[in-house]
A and B are shown apart, each in its own frame.
Chain A
Amino acid sequence: MSFGTLFGVSVVAGLVGAMSGMGGGVVLIPVLTALGLDIKRAIAVSIVSVIATSSGAASAYVRDRITNLRVGMFLEMFTILGALTGATITVASGRRLLFVLFGVILLVSWAALWFQRGRPWAPPAAPDRLSRWLELRGSYDDHVLGRRVDYVATHAALGGVLMFGAGLVAGLLGIGAGALKVLIHDLVMGLPPKVSTTTSNLIIGVTALAGTSVYLAAGLVDAGLAAPVIVGIVVGAFLGTRLLVRLSNEAVRRVFLVVLVVLALEMIARGLGGSVG
């Protein structure tokens, strides 16, 4: 695969990932495998690039005081264990199974994202005892609402267990699994959407690092392959975020969401009987 192809594909993956809200990995892996790269190597390259995109996005949100560091620190105990487990499973798995799993989880993540669209935030009535002990609360300045929003999180134990699952998916498939993490933050723990998304970004970087360590040990990471992908996907994500602000159009986002469904179905079809490289 030439340098130009790798770089170009990665810029597009970063752009579509940012504009759809699903992250670059969900585009990158199907395209790299379609170009002939082994799925395990594609997953390994993708998870390294996830560290770059999530850390870049998280840096701004953390300094804007929207990210809840305590919620992040508590939940990443679970996600890193999940990522280590997931990556270990991938290293040992058959390739067809990975194609099918990728497609199915992409569809589930897609449904999670679709479900959350425009849903108003309903704060939990009262936090449970564990969440109070963990001090899972915070506040942030909401520039759209023009006021400070105070919030508390609840169901910390269930949230932790489910985040192990989200970490497992991230490590297994080399993606951020941000849509699943945000769903858990929103629906189970009752965090406001902005805090959910930004805290998820923070957790994704550390989770991806845990997964990367397994792929590195398995000899699946090629630095020469990873370099243009990382630079490309960061450039694409940067452009995508800027474009999203300018377009601010739900119709554009829908187009990208349709692209992701097509990719998911294509991955399942390849896993069930097509070419897996």
Chain B
Amino acid sequence: MKEGAGGLEEAVGWILLGGVLLSCALLAAGLVWQHMVVPGTPLADPLAGTTAFRLAVADLRQLATGTLGPRLLVNLGLAVLLATPYLRVVASMLYFAFAAHDTKYALFTAFVLVTLTYSLFLR
């Protein structure tokens, strides 16, 4: 590692930890809420042929209307989980491009980001 990469390591570490904790908290809250409404019955929430971006946009739109419920919490938890490694790649690319001025690794991470973005729009 070059000198100064410690900042990236801190950022990546906290993005991963924060993402997993927030995701699990949302999922657990949704499950507990569902259990309180209909005890013992699992939440039926098949995501028929959607994409990660559509899922996130639908969740945020529903959140904006104020219709909070178990299903929305679970879907938000899932969207946060999917966004966690994605944000880690975004942070890495920004670091290599603008902080480390390392063109080689900025291009590598850009390739990963473009491929992931394409796959997350995939239908």
> At the interface, yes or no: A9 with Cβ under 8 Å from chain B?
no
* B112, A221: Cβ atoms closer than 8 Å: no
By a CB distance below 8 angstroms, the chain A residues around B75 are 223
* A227, B27: Cβ atoms closer than 8 Å: yes
* A4, B40: Cβ atoms closer than 8 Å: yes
By a CB distance below 8 angstroms, the chain A residues around B109 are 73
- The smallest C-beta distance from B46 to any residue of chain A, in angstroms, reads 5
* A60, B88: Cβ atoms closer than 8 Å: no
* A80, B112: Cβ atoms closer than 8 Å: yes
| 8 Å CB interface, B92-123 against A | 92, 96, 104-105, 108-109, 111-112, 115-116, 119-120, 122-123
> At the interface, yes or no: B50 with Cβ under 8 Å from chain A?
yes
By a CB distance below 8 angstroms, the chain A residues around B23 are 52, 230
Contact of A69 among B5, B27, B47, B48 (CB under 8 A): B5
> At the interface, yes or no: B60 with Cβ under 8 Å from chain A?
no
A226 to B43, CA, bound (A): 10
> At the interface, yes or no: B13 with Cβ under 8 Å from chain A?
yes
* A216, B40: Cβ atoms closer than 8 Å: no
User: Which of A102-110, A204-212, A255-263 interfaces with chain B?
Assistant: A204-212
A227 to B80, CA, bound (A): 12
A202 to B19, CA, bound (A): 14
> At the interface, yes or no: B4 with Cβ under 8 Å from chain A?
no
> At the interface, yes or no: A6 with Cβ under 8 Å from chain B?
yes
> At the interface, yes or no: A145 with Cβ under 8 Å from chain B?
no
A115 to B43, CA, bound (A): 42
Interface SS of B by simple majority? helix
Given contacts A59-B20, A209-B86, contact A219 B46 (CB under 8 A): yes
Closest-by-CB residue of A relative to B6 is A65
> At the interface, yes or no: A138 with Cβ under 8 Å from chain B?
yes
How many of A's residues come within 8 Å of B, CB to CB?
A: 55
| 8 Å CB interface, A187-244 against B | 202, 205-206, 208-210, 212-214, 216-219, 221-228, 230-231, 234
* B40, A218: Cβ atoms closer than 8 Å: no
| 8 shortest interchain CB distances as A-B pairs | A63-B13, A224-B43, A224-B45, A59-B16, A59-B17, A213-B119, A223-B45, A205-B85
29 A-B Cβ contacts within 8 A? Answer: A48-B82, A55-B20, A59-B13, A63-B9, A73-B92, A73-B109, A76-B112, A134-B104, A206-B89, A206-B116, A208-B85, A212-B82, A213-B122, A214-B119, A214-B122, A216-B50, A216-B55, A217-B51, A219-B50, A222-B44, A223-B43, A223-B45, A223-B46, A223-B78, A224-B44, A224-B46, A224-B74, A227-B30, A230-B27
Binding site for B on A (CB under 8 A): 1-4, 6, 48, 51-52, 55-56, 58-60, 62-63, 65, 67-70, 73-74, 76-77, 80-81, 84, 134-135, 138-139, 202, 205-206, 208-210, 212-214, 216-219, 221-228, 230-231, 234
